[in-house]
Amino acid sequence: MNWHETHALVTGGTRGIGLELVTQLLARGAKVTATGTTDSSLAEARDRLPQVTWLPLNQADSSSRESFIQALPAQGMSLVIHNAGVQQMRDWTSDWTKPQAEVAFDTSSEMAVNFVGPAELTRLLLPRLAREKSARIVFITSGLALAPKSSSPVYCASKAAVRSFAKSLRAQVNQAGWRILIQEALPPLVDTDMTRGRGKGKISAATAASQILTGVAKGRAEIDVGATALLRFILRLSPALGERIMIGR
């Protein structure tokens, strides 16, 4: 893979793993377009990395997705990394008893950001990618797509949905003979704003991004990041044990 000939799109590129992906792609020589959801985050990102084309995108909103596609640079794009995501920590057995001002369930929004958005963006981007000599679409899911935890049921379900979507899309693209590689990256718990204050044994966003891009360059269909490789091994030996390990996290 020649990074100097790569034009990459990274969703959710203003912080966390996304920001590290943008930074490391630039260091490898790639041209980068990235997204953010708020004016303030985009302004800060432009000041930090002015060589990136920063565009607004609320991938849960259909009109925002359409506007984003229209605003994309005309140059060819050969790599799409679906990174943007949100996670709600919700106890479905007790949170509903609390005042709405204290806790608000937003299942549809979480699924829209994490699953509907990437799926619909992929649909809109496929005609553009199909014109390239070769292209790659990377879905960043999670080790939780293999075995869920109890504290965020909708997040786990959304990541499992993206994993299933990626597998089906890969089969369709292969059957059509298109030169688009569908890849999935499965990070473990990563030290980002989204995970602040919870969990142990986190890896850094820089480490996660580096391993993801290494797997992308090697053309791996599934990229196990950090401890996800160990989880997959345990699940092969004993699915029940693997799920018991993960469910209480």
Backbone angles phi, psi at 81, to 5 degrees: -115, 110
Tell me the per-residue pLDDT of 130-167, one tens digit each, with 9 for 90 and over: 999 999 999 999 999 999 999 999 999 999 999 999 99
> Which residues does 93 contact at the CB level (< 8 Å), separation at least 6?
none
The answer on pLDDT for 62 being more than 80 is: yes
Length in residues, the chain: 249
Look at strands 203-204 and 190-191 and give their pairing.
Answer: parallel
Q: Compute the average pLDDT of residues 168-176.
A: 97
Tell me the per-residue pLDDT of 2-56, one tens digit each, with 9 for 90 and over: 999 999 999 999 999 999 999 999 999 999 999 999 999 999 999 999 999 999 9
What's the CATH architecture for 3-247?
Answer: 3-Layer(aba) Sandwich (3.40)
The residue annotated as part of the active site, out of 155, 180, 223, 235, is 155
Q: Using CA of residue 231, residue 85, residue 49, residue 191, what is the dihedral sign?
A: negative
User: Is 155 tagged catalytic?
Assistant: yes
CA distance 109 to 17: 21
- C-alpha dihedral over 169, 174, 178, 182, to 10 degrees? 50
Domain boundaries, given as residue ranges, for the chain: 3-247
Its pTM stands at 0.92
* Burial tier of 121 (Cβ tally within 10 Å: 0-12, 13-18, 19+): buried
User: What percent of the chain lies above the pLDDT cut of 90?
Assistant: 82
CA distance 148 to 245: 10
Tell me the per-residue pLDDT of 194-215, one tens digit each, with 9 for 90 and over: 555 555 667 899 999 999 999 9
